[in-house]
Structure 1
Amino acid sequence: MTSNSLLTSNILTIITFTPAAGALLLLFYNRAHVRSIRSFGLIIALLTFAFALHLVAHFESGNPDFQFSVNVPWIPSIGIDYSMGVDGISLFLILLTTLLSPLAILASWSITDRVKEYFIFILLLETGMIGVFASLDLFLFYVFWEVMLVPMYFLIGVWGGERRIYAAMKFVLYTMIGSVLMLVAILALYFLHGDATGTFSFFVLAPSAELWLFVAFFLAFAIKVPLFPFHTWLPDAHVEAPTAGSVLLAGVLLKMGVYGMVRFSLPLFPHISHLFTPLISLLAIVGIIYGALVAMVQPDIKKLVAYSSVSHLGFIVLGIFSFTPQGMEGAIYQMLNHGISTGALFLLVGVIYERRHTRLIEEFGGLAHRMPVYAAIFLIVTLSSIGLPGLNGFVGEFLVLLGTFGVNRGRAVFAATGVILSAIYMLWMYQRVIWGEITNDHNKNLPDLGRREHAMLIPLVILMIWMGIYSNHFLRPMDASVMRLLSQTENRRVEYASDFESGSDQCSILNAQFLSQLAIRHPLRLRIAPWELNIGQILSLMRGITVAAVYDRRQCLALGSWAVIDRPYRENRSSPKTRRPGTQ
């Protein structure tokens, strides 16, 4: 085996753990050597990006299956594997993560307090983010999901602003609520299907229609997006986080929630996902409009960009739940666009914050006179965020609206108002900060961009233009994977629905579910006390609640399923009578 083939076969493991290895080596650095710590952290991040470019170069665009797969038993006794792979959906998200990480490190040159620990957390955060996008095992996905949480907590809580402790705790509490729900759902999926599959691998687990499992996964992902009304942690986290934290939070971490919906919610719960589409689309549209309206009245540039993220991510969720190829590809493309454009906006805000130590819009004005290069780059980034044709933001929003319009015109029309509102608040902010006369004496001697700042902004500007003009370079590798995901989701949904349309099977299943629901509400009518049920019967009852509320059960008689409940009753009669706890 050649060195190149050895590298390619293990490329995902190398990309994932190179930052963690760098963080481990940083532990042995003398904290007084600040310049060497910064340089080493940057080298590790750039090396990881180079490995990601190797991944993209060897990716087969027409292959819808997972590539560069690794599957090694990790905890075989309970079916947990170290299973990783990449397809057209996760490919560019990994590339985006490895691109923004060195740029975030370049933006951290002003950090002077606990520099070694700061760069260790940045590199550990990168490992967690890459692992989330590469994991194919549900439990492994959850591990990386939690690994990401710890470094971000410290980045906000130690190197953040005045209210950093409050923002960090709020971020952790919101995320932990979702994490606990997701962990419970993952374990429940395993206990429901683990006997048959013996694994946590998500493409082996059978699709399930349990409502509460879908809700648990969806809430975990919706909080991370964040989807309205779970967004309140985001503005505080952005405002208080250091520049690098805001760049990675907006550019990558928010995409993890949307990616989870695409990778897990749709394949595991295809039918319930379709049933909840109207509600989720409504929340997405409300988020689009609400985020834009609130952004219009923000006095702080960073907070304005934070609320714009709520609006833009609403577009992404709307595209996903259109269940159309155009909407899905537009949503994934918009994930990349938002990471690039919003990441650049936070870098630009960080540039003037380092010079003025304020982010209030009213403190600026006329910066174009003193910082012309900064003003030009700011204009391109602003137009990209708005979605100007010719730049990257236009392609994603257009595809999302096109896919949504084909399904529901009303949703597309309401969502399109977000584009107009986005143009209003972004251009208003740009005009107030960049144009006009210099009225504040502190702005008269501001230096323009330096070499380090050029190095972290120019690559993003090039990408905005490239992705706007040559979007097919990025869309083509997604095509096969998106079509595979949509067809897989639809086939599983139809397959599951057909089980309830097959005559007698429908009656027996529906009435079992009907009686299960009745057993929860009125246990005495079924002559079974709830405390007499074992765990298997309880799980059966829980499974029945969901679909009984979805399908029409009025056409079926309860006789076919009476034996399902009556059998344990008959067995119970033949055994010594079980008394109710606490009775004589």
Structure 2
Amino acid sequence: MNVLSIVVFLPVAAAVALLLFPRMSDSAVRWTWITVTAVDLLLVLGLWIASPPGDGFAYEVDLRWIPSVDSGYHIGVDGLSMPLVALTAALFLACAIYSARETRRVRSFAALFLFLQTVCLGLFVSLDLILFFVFFDLSIVGMYFVIAGWGHRNAARAALQFFLYTFLGSLALLLGFIGLYLAAAPHTFDIVELTRQNPLAGKGVTGALILLALGVGLAIKTPTVPFHTWLPPAHTEAPAAGSAILAGVLLKMGTYGFVRIVMPVLPGVWRQYALVFVIVGVVSVIYGALVALAQRDFKRMIAYTSVNHMGYVILAVGAAGLVASSESQARHLAITGAVTQMVSHGLITGALFLLAGAMWDRGGTYDMDSYGGLAAQAPRFAGLAGLAAFASLGLPGFSGFIAEFQIFTGSLGGAPVATAVAFLGILITAALFLRVLQQVLLGSQRSPSGKFGDLTWPETASIGPLIALSVLIGLFPRPLLDAIEPAARTVSAIFGG
């Protein structure tokens, strides 16, 4: 079997094994979960190191699956997908370690996360629209059960809202995929073949309608304003590990869909309507930051910063469609920055949501007014929270700075006014995180439970490496950029015509 297929399906195979051996103790289930995710991460790193340089797809598999509609099991990785595959494997390992303290229905919890891991990995390596859609839809089902089964007080309502809203987006996405299939000659769902054909060139209204369907479906998943309303309640009610995966991985399915499918398959239509996406991106940046600033609930605040950070990605990909054909370097830089931002946001926000989970476990609330002086009581918590906050606001030395610098530099030529406005998002984000650090970590000591215990070793071992990776990328970005840039250059070249 192809090694990439093993990486994708190893977690779900382990999930099935856990369910087939019901007499395993909870401790054995936890160690199995951690071991499988660790092995999967090592396999991903091995694939990354062994990947041949260049802008093509590595470890490609193309097997007949549904020949009547020319849909196949077509998978492969390049510089757009490999960093997200590695991010997915790292975050799921962090969540497995963090969840070592989970006591509620441990077997089902572990099996569900292993299933979700396969779904997420499968989506990022898919090179067929139907395969992409299957994994896209299954991610909604898996996260619904995580929120409903292990969430907080209003988890059932939040899970239902999440499911209905995002499922509506998946239906819009399916309509767009069918439109692409019908427009292609010969008909196909293969992403590589559709990119080669450019099936919507000169199609006018048809191209606009298909872009609308794809754009709405992916924007709901991202989410951007005004399709973001499902996100705060889903995050607030989800367990910490569920929030980390939802923000760190599932939101990237939307932005990844733009750079993998929409931009290369619909280059002409994308250039024509790129300004719309630039405006949506800027509104998401400013709105997300302002609403986050108004929050008193720590977890809701982090949720709204996700709207803000994903707005930068939409701004970058939109600006890439506006940049003049002669400015290939700017387009390339904007796309590279968008992918780097996906990786950076996954690491940082994953860490922040796990820290929020530690806060809930000790105080039973996310209300920031209920906490104070935690630096004296919990130095490990305070240190990691401070680093995560500085990373999230884009301070130099962290991955966020590398990503946002590329996004702003690449977007300035195509959308100067919008990019200048988006700069305000950094200022607002800095203000909200500095306020949180001052209120929660400094001042007089207070906690709903009286004493706020410091992070345990599983919590530290899960959160610390995520922040360390952000620092590593911030100081030594070259290995990540060397992987992304060739594929970003290929997408950029499609807009050169």
Q: TM-score range by the shorter chain?
A: over 0.9
Partner of 1:553: none
Deviations 1:337-366 (A, max 9, x none): 100010010111111211121111011000
Distance 1:41 1:372 in 2: 29
The equivalent residue for 1:226 is: 223
User: Match of 1:581?
Assistant: none
The reply on whether 1:449 has 2:446 as its aligned counterpart is no
CA-to-aligned-CA distance 1:115-137 (integer Å, 9 cap, x gap): 21111110111111011100001
| 2:114 matches 1:123 | yes
Alpha-carbon distance, 1:77 to partner:
2.5
1:288 aligns with 2:285: yes
Structure 2 residue aligned with 1:520: none
Give me the identity figure in percent: 35
Tell me the CA shift for residue 78 of structure 1: 2.2
CA distance in 2, matches of 1:397, 1:77: 44
Q: Is the 8 A contact 1:31 1:116 kept in 2?
A: no
Q: Distance in 2 between matches of 1:440 and 1:162?
A: 21
2:243 alignment partner in structure 1: 246
CA contact (8 A) 2:278 2:415 kept: no
User: How far off its partner does 1:42 sit?
Assistant: 1.2
| 1:451 to partner: Cα distance | 1.6
* Cα distance in structure 1, aligned partners of 2:317 and 2:182: 29
Give the C-alpha shift of residue 32 in structure 1: 6.6
SS at match of 2:319: coil
Match of 2:358 in 1: 351
Q: Secondary structure at the match of 1:447?
A: coil
The residue aligned with 2:478 is: 472
Q: Determine the structure 2 residue equivalent to 1:90.
A: 81
Contact kept, 8 Å, 1:361 with 1:432, in 2: the verdict is yes
1:533-576 per-residue CA deviation (whole Å, 9 max, x = no partner) reads: xxxxxxxxxxxxxxxxxxxxxxxxxxxxxxxxxxxxxxxxxxxx
Structure 1 residue aligned with 2:394, among 370, 387, 407? 387
Q: Tell me how far 1:315 sits from its aligned partner.
A: 0.5
The answer to whether the 8 Å contact 1:302/1:359 transfers is yes
Deviation at 1:472, TM superposition (A): 1.3
Partner of 2:67: 76
1:104 positional shift: 1.0
Contact 1:19 1:44 in 2 (8 A): yes
Which residue identity is paired with 2:47? L
Residue 204 of structure 1 aligns to a residue whose secondary structure is: helix
What is the identity, as a one-letter code, of the residue corresponding to 1:482?
A
The structural deviation recorded for 1:303 is 0.3
Q: Does structure 2 retain, via aligned residues, the 8 Å contact 1:248–1:343?
A: yes
State yes or no: 1:417 paired with 2:424: yes
**Contact 1:270/1:490, CA 8 A, preserved across alignment:** no
**2:15/2:112 contact within 8 Å kept:** yes
Does structure 1 retain, via aligned residues, the 8 Å contact 2:41–2:86?
yes
Aligned 8 A contact 1:391 1:468 in 2: yes
In structure 2, give the amino acid aligned to 1:476. D
Give the corresponding residue for 2:297: 300
The whole-number CA distance in structure 1 between the counterparts of 2:494 and 2:282 is 26
Q: Do structure 1's residue 59 and structure 2's residue 48 form an aligned pair?
A: no
2:158 is matched with which residue? Answer: 167
Tell me the amino acid that sits aligned with residue 78 of structure 1: V
Question: What amino acid is aligned across from residue 221 of structure 2 in structure 1?
Answer: K
- The aligned counterpart of 1:268 is 265
Give runs of aligned pairs for residues 186-201 of structure 1, distance below 5 A: 186-193=177-184, 196-201=185-190
Higher mean C-alpha deviation, range 312-321 or range 23-32: 23-32
Question: Counterpart of 2:326?
Answer: none
* 8 Å contact kept, 2:151–2:237: yes
CA offsets, 1:449-504, max 9 Å, x none? 2221221122112212111111111111111111111112434xxxxxxxxxxxxx
Give secondary structure in 2 for the equivalent of 1:68: strand
Q: How far did residue 198 of structure 1 move?
A: 4.6
Moved more, 298-307 or 70-79: 70-79
Select 1:399's aligned residue among 403, 406, 410.
Answer: 406
1:185 CA displacement: 2.0
Give the AA of the match of 2:390: L
CA drift at 1:441:
6.8
TM-score scaled by length of structure 2: 0.94
Q: 1:411 & 1:180 partners in 2: Cα distance? A: 31
CA deviations 1:93-152 (Å, max 9, x no partner) are 000000000111222233322221111110111111011100001111111111211110
Using the size of structure 1 for normalisation, the TM-score is 0.80
Cα distance in structure 2, aligned partners of 1:296 and 1:116:
38
Q: Give the Å deviation of 1:188.
A: 2.6
- Please give the alpha-carbon distance, in whole angstroms, between the structure 1 residues aligned to 2:422 and 2:31: 44
Residue 230 of structure 1 deviates from its aligned partner by 0.3
Query: Residue 453 of structure 2 aligns to a residue in which SS?
Result: coil
Partner SS for 1:107: helix
Q: Distance in 1 between matches of 2:460 and 2:11?
A: 24
SS at match of 1:231: coil
Cross-structure match for 1:255: 252
Partner of 1:361: 368
Task: Give yes or no for contact 1:31–1:115 (8 Å, CA) kept in 2.
Answer: no
Cα deviation code 1:391-433 (max 9, x no counterpart): 1111111111111112222111100000000000011111111
Alignment-derived partner of residue 203 in structure 1: 192
Deviation digits for residues 22-56 of structure 1 (CA, Å, limit 9, x no counterpart) = 11101123267111111111111111111111111
Alignment of 1:426-505 (within 5 A): 426-440=433-447, 442-443=449-450, 445-491=451-497
Structure 1: 5+ residue runs without aligned partners? 1-5, 492-584
Contact 2:345 2:400 in 1 (8 A): yes
Bigger Rg, which one: 1
User: Deviation at 1:192?
Assistant: 2.8
- CA offset at residue 197 of structure 1? 2.8
CA distance in 2, matches of 1:188, 1:283: 24
Residue in structure 2 matched with residue 102 of structure 1 by the alignment:
93
SS in 1 for 2:218: helix
Equivalent pair of 1:246/1:346 in contact (CA under 8 Å): yes
Higher relative contact order (CA 8 A, sep 6+): 2
- Tell me what 1:519 maps to: none
**Separation in 2, partners of 1:200, 1:282:** 30
Q: Which moves more between the two structures, 429-438 or 448-457? A: 448-457
Task: Write the letter of the residue equivalent to 1:47.
Answer: V
Is the 8 Å Cα contact of residues 29 and 37 (structure 1) preserved in structure 2? no
User: Partners in 1 of 2:15 and 2:265 — Cα distance?
Assistant: 35
Contact (CA 8 Å) 2:285, 2:311: kept in 1 or not? yes
Which range is displaced more, 120-129 or 181-190?
181-190
* Partner of residue 138 from structure 2, selected from 140, 143, 147: 147
User: 1:31 & 1:460 partners in 2: Cα distance?
Assistant: 33
Instruction: Specify the code of the residue in structure 2 equivalent to 1:15.
Output: V
Q: Is the 8 A contact 1:373 1:449 kept in 2?
A: yes
Tell me the CA shift for residue 158 of structure 1.
1.1
How many residue pairs get matched? 479
Asked whether the 8 Å contact 1:175–1:223 carries over to 2, the reply is yes
Q: Is the 8 A contact 2:363 2:448 kept in 1?
A: no
Amino acid at match of 2:377: R
Question: What is the deviation of 1:293?
Answer: 0.7
Q: Distance in 2 between matches of 1:411 and 1:282?
A: 7
What is residue 44 of structure 1 aligned with on the other side?
36
